[in-house]
Amino acid sequence: MNILSKILSVIVGLTVINVWLFRSGKSSSFRGGDANSLMEEFEVYGLSDYFLTIGIIKVGLAILLILSLYYKKLRLISASGIALMMLVAVYMHFSVGDELIKSMPASVMLLSCVIIAYSSKKSFN
């Protein structure tokens, strides 16, 4: 794994963990609609029933992404999984009419995960 991919893996993994475990109850200018917490944001999107499930999946994938620094076989699946989640996050922002700026963190994470996954796939060849 190249150095950029390693750095991005740590940044993405820690960011997802931070958002879900430490900042979920706090407001952010990037939250969808007028939400003041992560749960309220899920309510804006009509996904409140899936809040816990999505949280467990995202945090689990973030942990796997960090562990992929030591276990290469985890890299592609964890980066691809987070990329898919971020793609859906970007879509959800647009589906409720959020300004473009609100989807930027998810877009950056999506791009980062695509770079990680591409780097991972390239190293398998």
What average pLDDT does this structure show over 92-113? 96
CA 55 to chain centre: 10
Mean pLDDT of 88-94: 96
Look up residue 101 and give its amino acid: I
What number is the average pLDDT over the span 28-46? 94
The pLDDT tens digits for 40-62 are 999 999 999 999 999 999 999 99
Determine the pLDDT at residue 31: 94
- Say what the pTM is: 0.91
Q: Residues 6 or more apart from 73 whose CB is under 8 A from it? A: none
What percent of the chain lies above the pLDDT cut of 70?
96
The pLDDT of residue 124 is: 56
- Average confidence (pLDDT) over 32-45: 95
* pLDDT bucket at 63, cuts 50 / 70 / 90: very high
Rounded Cα gap, residues 48 and 39, in angstroms: 7
**For residue 35, what is the DSSP state?**
-
Average pLDDT of 1-6? 86
CB contact set of 56 (below 8 Å; sequence gap of 6+): none
Query: What Rg, from alpha-carbon coordinates, does the chain have?
Result: 14
- Residue ranges per domain, the chain? 3-24+35-124
Joined together, the tokens standing for residue 21 give 């475990």
